[in-house]
Amino acid sequence: MDKQTGLKLYHEMVLIRRTEEKAAELYQQGKIGGFLHLYIGQEAVSTGLISARLPQDRVITAYRDHGVAINCGLPAKEILAEMLGKVTGVSRGKGGSMHLADVSKNFWGGHAIVGAHLPLAAGLALGDLYQKQDGVTICMFGDGATNIGYFHEALNLSKVWNLPVLWVCENNQYGMGTAVDRASAVSQIRQKAEGYGMTNSRVDGMNLVAVREAAQKILSEIRNGSGPQLLEITTYRYRGHSMGDPERYRKPEEIHLWQEQDPIGIFRRHLLDNGLAVEAELNAEDDAVEEEIREAVIFAESSPEPQAEELFRDIYVEA
């Protein structure tokens, strides 16, 4: 990794964290309605993964989508505006936190129904295969989603049709309040790919470099015709499932243990130890993120709400 890439990826991880810390504040002030699922703790997963994609590679994910959106190049100010239901938001204020998307950046969204976007990913990849495009569809989902029928249908057909899909399970140890070993028959999610004869692997999601290297290797294999693969990325969410989670299912000591492996801290150390950055440069990135967030909040708060006519835009059938 060169210096410029290192600083860019560090910036992205800090931007995700600060955007979400600010979103949590705005939520508590009653300015954001509905659900809000924070990605804090999981930043190295999407940052490492998406740093390995080529522009033709599609990305699709579930509702924990703010970080993925930032890594795909959606501006933080438009993401915050979307959460506040403003017309300047990435989905014109009509989607909210769980439905960020921008097809021009090959980001096919945020999806709220657990597992439902996996068949969509298979469809995107089938389209690319049919049109002889060399893009790979990167489909991210949680550990909980792998207990759902959609997961098994989509994995099976992707293998039958040899679709160019990278199935990425973000194993953050819980589906809402349920620990993985209480809901899944196998403890390593990657084992589930074996039932479909699919190549699978597992990587430490607190380590951006490890995620990026694994993703680079697998994406190039899929591009060269390996067929679909499943990558399990182990990680941890530091915050509750969504805002307002009383968190009775885990102990503070467990959270503290994982916080000692903070992905931002680990990557910061990596940049310093490998001479890719000095403290002052990293602090300058932190300051730049602060300024970006400050401006993003002003932009989001001062933007107008959608007009009633917006109800008739972005619909399948003309009224």
Using the minimum distance from each CB to Mg ion, give the nearer residue, 91 or 235: 235
User: Using CB distances below 5 to 8 A depending on partner kind, what does residue 64 bind out of ligand TPP, Mg ion, none?
Assistant: ligand TPP
When binding is defined by CB under 5 A, the residue of 51, 146, 172, 200 that contacts Mg ion is: 172
Using the minimum distance from each CB to Mg ion, give the nearer residue, 14 or 62: 62
Measured from each CB, the residue nearest to ligand TPP is 142
The pairs formed by 199-204 with CB atoms below 8 angstroms and a separation of 24 or more are: 199/226, 199/227, 199/229, 199/230, 200/229, 200/230, 200/231, 200/232, 201/229, 201/230, 201/231, 201/232, 202/231, 202/232, 202/233, 202/234, 203/231, 203/232, 203/233, 203/234, 204/233, 204/234
Binding mask 170-189 for ligand TPP (x = CB under 6 A): --x-xxx-------------
**Where do the DSSP E strands lie in the chain?**
58-60, 137-142, 165-171, 174-175, 178-179, 199-204, 229-234
Helices (H), 52-177: 66-71, 76-83, 117-130, 149-160
Min CB(142)–Mg ion separation in Å: 4
When binding is defined by CB under 6 A, the residue of 241, 264, 276, 297 that contacts ligand TPP is: 241
β-strand partners of 204: 234
Using the minimum distance from each CB to Mg ion, give the nearer residue, 48 or 142: 142
User: Using CB distances below 5 to 8 A depending on partner kind, what does residue 114 bind out of ligand TPP, Mg ion, none?
Assistant: ligand TPP
**Binding to Mg ion (CB under 5 A): which residues in 95-154?**
142-143
Binding mask 63-82 for ligand TPP (x = CB under 6 A): -x------------------
Angle at 92 between CA 125 and CA 69, to 5 degrees: 45
65 binds Mg ion (CB under 5 A): no
Using the minimum distance from each CB to Mg ion, give the nearer residue, 91 or 97: 97
Using DSSP's 3-state secondary structure scheme, residue 78 falls into helix
Residue the block writes with tokens 């994910």 = 61
Number of residues that bind ligand TPP (CB under 6 A): 13
**Distance of alpha carbon 218 from its chain centroid, rounded?**
18
**Binding to ligand TPP (CB under 6 A): which residues in 82-141?**
112-114
**Binding to Mg ion (CB under 5 A): which residues in 255-284?**
none
User: Using CB distances below 5 to 8 A depending on partner kind, what does residue 160 bind out of Mg ion, ligand TPP, none?
Assistant: none
* DSSP letter, residue 307: P
CA distance 202 to 92: 37
Residues of this chain that bind ligand TPP (CB under 6 A): 64, 112-114, 142-145, 172, 174-176, 241
Residues of this chain that bind Mg ion (CB under 5 A): 142-143, 172, 175
